[in-house]
Amino acid sequence: MNRIYSAAFAVALVTIPFISRAADAPREPYGIALEGFAYPYPVHLLPVVNDGEQLSMAYMDVAPVQPNGRTVVLLHGRNFPSSYWAPVIKMLSEAGFRVVVPDQIGFGKSSKPQGELHFDNLARNTMALLDHLKIDKAEIVAHSLGGMLGVRIARAYPDRVAHLVLTAPIGLEDYRLYVPPTPTETIIEAEDKLTADGYRKQLQTNYAIKLPPEAITPFIDARFNIKGSPDYPRWLRAFVSSGQMIYREPVAHEIPLITEPTLFIMGADDHNAPGRPLAPEALRAKMGQNAELAKAFAAKMPNARAEVIPDTGHLVFLEAPDKYRELVLGFLGR
């Protein structure tokens, strides 16, 4: 019953800003900065410059109910707008934390650059946001691709990180050891052919999602409603660039060097491994042993531990909200 209640609670929170849409209904176009797509809190824009290009970084800045003087920065994954953090924002705000939730450049309501994406740039942008908000040190809570960025931030700016929570992070292995390089244009062509139904199946398969289908619809809409935008090709190139960034800029070799208090929260059924379909068949089964990889890393690190939640996939904080709350607030309360 607790599992059923938790799933229903997560679905309600995720779908609050959205209206259900029949599968065969016409899609109302969004802009490539997700204009027309509702976020749960007001969105602000910060000007940044990446590789000479003038860009805007979107973020939410949510005040605590009763301030404890601390700030949490939430780092989103690749296939999700930062709005999916809504239940975690509420949880942390009610616990006394100020919550800063950026859309990284190339994602969500932030600019889609002409140039390539790089973790170093995303890390610098995040530090620029903290400087703008006059935040000297923050708790970093990251999910999926955000976990790779969280690692880079912890390594490059250790004095700015109080605690690091890696929620179902990717990048626990160097995908170059399994997957051959693929030209960007080849990936763009394949991604452009993907249908909404195909994308839904891809998410369900890759992420071992335990939520009802309607909870995934906002993620489908966030991607496919922008196909009606005249700027869609620019969005698509930025999206593919983020995948190439994951492949070309591994962080697995840096994880054991993190000295800040670190908590891995893993779904036992999460075997997500970007690029697995492109790997030789003999290597595919070796990829995505994420819970075991997290435990092995934690054992090597000076101040880390790994928690594995049973019967849970990649969307840990939506699928097991009660356990996630217990782990995160307990860890940050140290």
Distance from C-alpha of 202 to C-alpha of 36, rounded to nearest angstrom? 25
| Domains in the chain: boundaries | 43-333
**Cα separation of the two ends of the chain:** 31
Q: DSSP of 176-200, one letter per residue? A: GGTS----HHHHHHHHHH--HHHHH
pLDDT in tens, 99-144: 999 999 999 999 999 999 999 999 999 999 999 999 999 999 999 9
pLDDT in tens, 163-183: 999 999 999 999 999 999 999
**How far, rounded to the nearest angstrom, does the alpha carbon of residue 64 sit from its chain's CA centroid?**
22
CATH tag for 43-333 (out of 3.90.50.10, 1.10.287.3510, 3.30.390.50, 3.40.50.1820): 3.40.50.1820
Tens place of pLDDT per residue across the chain (334 aa): 344 334 443 444 443 343 334 444 556 789 999 999 999 999 999 999 999 999 999 999 999 999 999 999 999 999 999 999 999 999 999 999 999 999 999 999 999 999 999 999 999 999 999 999 999 999 999 999 999 999 999 999 999 999 999 999 999 999 999 999 999 999 999 999 999 999 999 999 999 999 999 999 999 999 999 998 999 999 999 999 999 999 999 999 999 999 999 999 999 999 999 999 999 999 999 999 999 999 999 999 999 999 999 999 999 999 999 999 999 999 999 6
Distance from C-alpha of 34 to C-alpha of 240, rounded to nearest angstrom? 17
| H or E, element range at 266 | strand 262-267
β-sheet bridge partners, residue 105: none
| CA dist list (Å): 96 to 49, 92, 128 | 33, 7, 24
In the block, which residue shows the tokens 């904080």?
A: 317
